[in-house]
Amino acid sequence: KVIKCKAAVLWEANKPFSIEEVEVAPPKEHEVRIKIMATGICRSDDHVITGALVMPFPIILGHEAAGVVESVGQGVTSFKPGDKVIPLFIPQCGECNSCLGTKGNLCSKNDLALGGGLMPDGTTRFTCKGKAVHHFLGTSTFTEYTVVHESAVAKIDSAAPLEKVCLIGCGFSTGYGAALQTAKVEPGSTCAVFGLGGVGLSVIIGCKVAGASRIIAVDINADKFAKAKELGATDCINPKDFQKPIHEVLIEMTGQGVDYSFEVIGRTDTMTAALACCQYNYGVSVIVGVPPAAQKITFDPMLLFTGRSWKGSVFGGWRSKDSVPKLVSDYMNKKFVLDPLITHTLPFTKINEGFDLLRTGK
């Protein structure tokens, strides 16, 4: 049956969300309909609102969530109603080169590059006021019910607290994996993390778990320093406190630059600074923040010629279906904390207030 429920619909760019009644169609073959119990707010959602990440409107955003399976479509055998699940904005189809190989995690069935805003069969499961509404990254979690393809959902421990582990759907896993999977931070190494939002803090958690001896946190908002230190940062620096470029400050602090740097903001100037601050011969710099659509980077190629590596990381390099249940188990076994990453808990209808808190750095 069609379910009528509340959703936060974005009708056009640079406007607030509108809480609407939407119709959510039943799941088709190999699809799963999920009751969303908790969803996180991520900067990537905000990038769609501002136009930095180009997607079609109207759209239901949201891609970091946890919920319970409500019903399954024909041919779905690995999920049943009542299962606790996390939707996956990077699916794992198990059939493409990326899924079959061992090198990467970016399944070719993802909607990040395409930005089509539709289910794999080219249609949508949402309607509002008689209009078709687009999906976001195959997940769309700013709604009480959503439909996802079975390759884009992971079954998790039935004892997991959904209001916490929803962060494993994007922000936490993205940052934690950038340190552990993409950079492969080594014990005793020195790291710099640019940007101390939820993802940047998760990078710090990953660096600490990996055994880094020095973790330098960089942000222009000093209010974020206490939390960064609580999670493992050894130094916190504000670029506004220095006359010279921040990469020079970091090189002076460390002798010859950091072993690993992470850009977790999504700005081209900080991406180049993060590259320049890492050790000139073997330093590794990882781009974690979603880059703005219309911008290009200009940099001195000598930065790479001497041996530095520049890498990108999508969803922390994790293969989603395989890794998300394991990450939830690691959380349940207290291998890492999530509570400090949660600053506010709001009712769904106050989603616009949530985005205001994000934009003001709170």
Catalytic (active-site) positions: 42, 44, 47, 63, 170
What phi and psi values does residue 284 have, to the nearest 5 degrees? -120, 125
CB 36 within 8 A of CB 146: yes
Q: How far apart are CA 7 and CA 141, in angstroms?
A: 9
What is the per-residue burial (b if ≥16 Cβ within 10 Å, else e) of 53-81?
bebeebbbbbbbbbbebbbbbeebeebee
Nearest-5° angle of CA 206, CA 220, CA 317?
25
Hey, what amino acid is at 160?
Answer: A
Question: Helix %, strand %, coil % for the chain, to 5?
Answer: 30, 20, 45
Structure tokens that stand for 270 in this block: 């900080």
Calculate the dihedral angle through the C-alpha atoms of 86, 91, 94, 96, rounding to the nearest 10 degrees.
Answer: 180
